[in-house]
Amino acid sequence: MKSFRIFITSLTCIAWSLCGEEVKKEGSLHDFMAVSISGEDIPLSDFAGKIVLIVNVASECGVTDQYEVLQALYEVLQDRDFTILGFPTNEFGGQEPGTNKEIAAFCKREYSVTFPMFAKIETNGDNQLPLFRYLTSAENPDQVGPVGWNFEKFLIGRDGKLLRRFGSNIEPDSEEMIEALKEALKEEE
């Protein structure tokens, strides 16, 4: 009987290991890698010491004009060790159908985007980027769970920990967002 229990325990452990990567609730942004929109592997530890705003973006969304305000924030705050990381996704209404090259061209042409952009990803589901697995499960005062739409925003502290999460209905220049940015920049200096 004892050997049967050991056998079942072993099978259970093997099954769990085959079920995919464990949801990482601890850790930080700095533990992950991502692919830039031009195809380079980028260790996100490159952003250690910065306040980071991660945004899942799309070119054909009703709130795509948030790119304009995001770029303005980036231009004003980048000298204070602030950056924005844009992650295109096509999973919400098929609103980012282009290739990485087309997305990069659109961002430059329409909004003069100069903040770092990354390759198209999935923010939810079986092919979810591990970074977004962390972001959607990490404790924060706003919400935990799947990304609901394009242009959700994740505010990350200098230590790489998630500070706040904002839905797509929260404009990047809203009072709530500006106050959170001021607080993050002030607290972390």
Alpha-carbon span 150 to 141, nearest angstrom = 20
Active-site annotation holds for 19:
no
What's the farthest any 2 CA atoms get from each other in the chain? 69
CA dihedral for 167, 58, 68, 129, sign (positive or negative):
positive
Catalytic residue among 13, 19, 61, 107: 61
Q: Which residues are CB-neighbours of 104 under 8 A, at least 6 positions away?
A: 37, 38, 117
Question: Which residues partner with 164 through β-bridges?
Answer: 155
DSSP 89: B
Alpha-carbon span 50 to 71, nearest angstrom = 17
**Would you list the DSSP string of 22-66?**
PP--SS-GGG-EEEBTTS-EEEGGGGTTSEEEEEEE-TTSTTTTH
Residues with catalytic roles: 61
